[in-house]
Amino acid sequence: MLIKICGLSTIETLAAAIDAGATHVGLVHFEPSPRHVSLEDAARLRAQVPQGVKAVLLLVNANVETTGRAIDLVKPDVVQFHGKETPEWIAAVGTRAGVETWKALGVRSADTLANAARFEGAVDRLLFDAPPPEKATALPGGNGVGFDWSLLKHHAHRLPWGLAGGLNPANVADAIAATGAPLVDASSGLESAPGIKDVDLIRAFCKAAREA
């Protein structure tokens, strides 16, 4: 079972995620997010990630300069694109930087899954997430809401994929059972306040996901 804990911003919570068995740890570089970390802080956190655990750098509609600088400084194993990035752009970044690439997609309907096929050959993994609430201040992810998991139940996946959106220790086992997700990704469901990870929730989530 692959487990990603996203939006980590302190050494303590990073260590808790790794100790609890997370296979991927996520660092968010997107200023509007309460989980935002500077590239310098992201690099310091990334340096604490041991071999065998993958560091994921999350970017949202970053320009060429920001993307290049972020990859050079942080040296992530994976870059997760969480905006309106095109397959061509992601493929170019992955090839040029030599990193694994993921694309997050907000699942509104079965049409989203059908349209996901355009990323085949361009990304290494798709991350099916809840779509952002329809309000101007909504973040592209990390809103603590889920989507209709039944949409994924019989979908013929053509790419490696993962499940995100409103996951927490109480529902992750049900999510895995309902979707067959090979990877689960949690962020806001593991917080005591926006951007503040709770180490006990991190441990409980990892335990529930592994046991599922």
Residue positions annotated with a catalytic role: 6, 129
**Minimal CA–CA distance to 194: which of 144, 136, 127?**
144
Secondary structure of residue 18 in the 3-state scheme? helix
State the Cα angle at 185 between 180 and 189, rounded to 5°: 115
Environment class of residue 192 by beta-carbon count within 10 Å: exposed (0-12), middle (13-18) or buried (19+)? exposed
**Residue 168 near residue 205 (C-beta atoms within 8 A):** yes
**Minimal CA–CA distance to 46: which of 79, 90, 21?**
79
**What is the separation of C-alpha 143 from the centre of its chain, rounded to a whole number of angstroms?**
13
| CA atoms of 70 and 42, how far apart (whole Å) | 9
